Amino acid sequence: MALSGEDLERYARHLVLRDVGGPGQAKLQSARVLVVGAGGLGAPLLQYLAAAGVGTLGIVDDDTVSLSNLQRQVIHGTPDIGRAKTESAADAICRLNPGIAVIQHRQRLEAASARDLVRDYDIVADGSDNFGTRYAVSDACFYENKPLITAALGQFDGTLTTIRAHERALDGRPNPTYRCLFPAPPPAGTVPTCAEAGVLGALAGVMGSLMALEVIREIVGFGEGLVGRLLMVDARSMRFDVMRYTYDPQNPLSGETAQGPEAPR
């Protein structure tokens, strides 16, 4: 995809980077990224992907903007209260970079629809706030052979990793799945919701920005990705740690006793 004169100016700071340059920017412009959730994580993620020139952004969210969202969901503003988050986010993206194609999926991503949604995209970034969606999207990405960047927020902590479970590592072993890291969701009611526990607003910005960085690195292909590594951020101590994890032969997706695709097609 050729860069216009306006593109050359807009993306000038990318183009002079040796690890991005013209070829990398062209990859970004031709990429299709599905963002699950236009909330605390999805808001900065969408902004930075749009600013970076990712050509097509799909947004999955069934919620509307509320006043309590604005403490951390920075893609929305006070005039957007009551609007669909997909619509509000799409307008903000257009203001930032009108060259981006935005596809709104005003729906909740569930197991029955997940595979159809992820199938049309090159990479998926999950910033959802519930375990049902996280497992539905990670399973769908495995079955549809799509890379997944997934993050989660606590009150003062966050995690981020990349899943390429449809591929193998250099040693020939399968890459880990999301279920290798978290085999099953916790029992209902054991983990408080964001509304119940609270969350530090700026932390959502940090983690969403890190998600965007990881998506960009996966598209362009530079640096060491987070496959098999869980990045953990502690906002209280301002510590960044990494925990390594590996393929679990007992996982239900690609394990030794896996029965094949179970997620709806």
pLDDT at 264: 43
Q: What is the DSSP letter of 186?
A: P
pLDDT of 24-75, one tens digit each?
A: 999 999 999 999 999 999 999 999 999 999 999 999 999 999 999 999 999 9
Sheet with 148-153, side-by-side order of all strands: 101-105, 56-60, 32-36, 123-126, 148-153, 157-163, 229-234, 239-244
Burial of 170 from C-beta contacts in 10 A (0-12 / 13-18 / 19+): exposed
pLDDT, tens only, 64-110: 999 999 999 999 999 999 999 999 999 999 999 999 999 999 999 99
Q: In the predicted model, what is the mean pLDDT of residues 201-229?
A: 97
Query: Residue 237 corresponds to which tokens in the numbers above?
Result: 């101590």
For 236, the token pair is 């209280």
Helix residue ranges per DSSP H, 53-193: 85-96, 111-118, 131-143, 178-181
What is the average pLDDT value for the chain, to the nearest integer? 93
pLDDT number for residue 183 = 87
Angle at the Cα of 99 (from 133 to 2), degrees rounded to 5?
Answer: 115
Predicted pLDDT at 49: 98
Query: Which among 216, 242, 230, 147 is positioned nearest to 138, based on CA atoms?
Result: 147
- As a whole number, mean pLDDT of residues 154-162 equals 96
Q: Which two tokens stand for residue 228?
A: 């098999």
Q: Percentage of the chain surpassing pLDDT 70? A: 97
Residue 265, pLDDT above cutoff 70 = no
CA 41 – CA 203 distance, rounded (Å): 9
Q: Give the pair of three-digit tokens for residue 231.
A: 């990045």
For residue range 159-176, what is the model confidence (pLDDT) as tens digits?
Answer: 999 999 999 988 888 999
Contact 60, 90 (CB under 8 A): no
Q: How many Å apart are CA 22 and CA 3, to the nearest integer?
A: 8
The number of helices, as runs of H, and strands, as runs of E, in the chain is 10, 8
Nearest residue to 61 via CA among 109, 99, 98, 24:
109
Residue 259 clears pLDDT 90, i.e. is over it: no
Q: Any idea which residues carry the catalytic annotation? A: 194
